[in-house]
Structure 1
Amino acid sequence: MKKSKIAALFLFGIGCSAIGFSQVDAPTTPPEESPMPMKPEMTEIWEPQVEKITPGEKPGDAPSDAIVLFDGENLDQWVSQANTENAAPWAIKDGYFEVVPGTGGIQTKMKFGDAQIHIEWSAPDKVENSGQGRGNSGLFLQNRYELQILDSYNNRSYSNGQAGSIYKDVPPLVNAMRSPDKWNVYDVIYTAPRFKDGKIDQKAKITVLHNGVVVQNNTTIQGLTLYIGLHNYPEAHEEDVIALQDHGTKVQFRNIWVRKL
């Protein structure tokens, strides 16, 4: 046999051995399993069912699950802040009530934490004074954190003290004030602060619509409303009352309701 044929046969044998090894002896990797295909029902939530309520007939009307704090008739849901054993001392008028300057603030009998609040208010029709002396009151959440009420219509004051501000904390995004002869509306979504081991864990948050315009957008409240000094959270607390301030001027209120969140 010629040398060239011998060499060819030798190489053919090596090739066959290599092929046989790769087919028989080489480790194999199992094929990956395909993930289960998603179906529409896999992301559907059926239980529990969402609670049904009846909304108000028109914007501003209380829904069926609201706690009505003033419906135009009486102040039975409120007491005097000066003496909580006494009835609220403010004056009931034709479908609204009015601050009686010098009698002190009023507060709710009930306590609240997270809440949706609707309140309508108006400065006196007759414009008197200026700055902080004109149609001044305040909506206090948990009796601590003030959403400012002030006649800010053509009335310059410090920005974090005008209507729609978190008083001495955060100015409103815009001035949406109506003239004194018209009613203003606050719609508030309030998230109470959370505490852990007696210390602040999550600060309070607030969103405010003033006459339908967003003036506070998920704003962080830095702490207790203080006239002097930086705001802070010195102590833990639970749910507490909603209060309205007597700042020495005749501010009017109507149609107040709250939903616990």
Structure 2
Amino acid sequence: MTYDNPDNPETWKVDNGILTVNKKAGSLTTKDAYMDYQLHLEYRIPEEITGEGQSRGNSGIFLAYLGLDESGLFEDGYEIQILDNYNNETYVNGQVGSMYKQSIPLANAAKKPGEWQTYDIVWKAPGFNEDGSLSSPATVTALHNGVLVQNHYELKGITPWIDPPSYRNHSPSPIRLQAHGDPSEPISFRNIWLRRL
């Protein structure tokens, strides 16, 4: 995996098999690129979390990371949200388990901050014709803490913060763990595994 800023001496903390966000180092991206896969990971939002709404344990998994948007400010790709929604309200398509700003989760399976939570995700990348047009949409099936939250959802395109979703031709892509930069970090991850499908 690689960090956003390789010249920055800051890195994510690794301790006893637990990987913890360091917002100074930026998001963490796989070196390898993927198409279809099954992903398992566990994450933990700090027990002493502060903030509210989108500023409470905000992170995400970019199931296919395409780089920064045209402004160079926001991450581009297909994001499934990580957020503390145990007792924290936000907009429905921005809560944990959502395909960000596109598909609301089928249930709220959030655990209390401080407890380990799981994601089990089956990702199928979009397909494109030779002329770059879409031949098949991306799909995602996701279980959050063992509860189905996305059921073979067909994405309408990338999951941008503001603009409507759209597709653009792309090749196999890396996976990215987001360092959102909120003061409520650090979020920790463990037991991450992947198998190509």
TM-score normalised by the chain length of structure 1: 0.67
For residues 86 and 102 of structure 1, do their structure 2 counterparts lie closer, same or farther at Cα, with a shift above 3 Å needed? closer
Superposed displacement of residue 207, structure 1 = 0.2
Q: CA deviation at 1:87?
A: 8.9
Q: Distance in 1 between matches of 2:5 and 2:106?
A: 34
Quick one: distance in 2 between partners of 1:223 and 1:250?
29
Q: Give distance in 1, aligned partners of 2:97 and 2:26.
A: 22
**How big is the alpha-carbon RMSD for the aligned residues of Structure 1 and Structure 2?**
1.6
Q: Which runs of at least 4 in structure 1 moved beyond 3 Å after TM superposition?
A: 85-88
The 5 Å alignment of 1:226-237 reads 226-233=160-167, 235-237=168-170
Q: CA deviation digits over 1:202-248, x for unaligned, max 9?
A: 11000000011100000011111211110000x21111100011112
SS at 2:25 equivalent:
coil
1:73 corresponds in structure 2 to none
Say which SS state the counterpart of residue 135 (structure 1) adopts.
Answer: coil
Cα distance in 1 between the residues matched to 2:85 and 2:148: 16
Residue matched to 1:141: 63
Describe the shift of the 1:251–1:218 C-alpha distance in structure 2 as closer, same or farther (beyond 3 A): same
Q: CA–CA distance in 1 between the matches of 2:49 and 2:163?
A: 31
The structure with more helix, counted as a fraction of residues: 1
For 2:36, give the aligned amino acid.
Answer: D
Q: Structure 1 unaligned runs (5+)?
A: 1-77
User: What is the rounded CA distance, in whole Å, between the counterparts of 1:162 and 1:202 in structure 2?
Assistant: 27
Aligned length: 182
Note the 1:125-136 alignment, pairs <5 A: 125-136=47-58
Is the CA contact (8 Å cut-off) linking 1:80 and 1:88 kept in structure 2? no
Seq. identity, %: 43
Indicate the structure whose relative CO is greater, using CA pairs within 8 Å and at least 6 residues apart: 2
The structure richer in strand per residue is: 2
Q: Kindly tell me: are residues 88 and 208 of structure 1, through their superposed partners in 2, closer, same or farther at Cα, counting changes over 3 Å?
A: farther
Report matched runs for 1:22-101 at 5 Å.
78-83=1-6, 89-101=11-23
State yes or no: 1:258 paired with 2:171. Answer: no
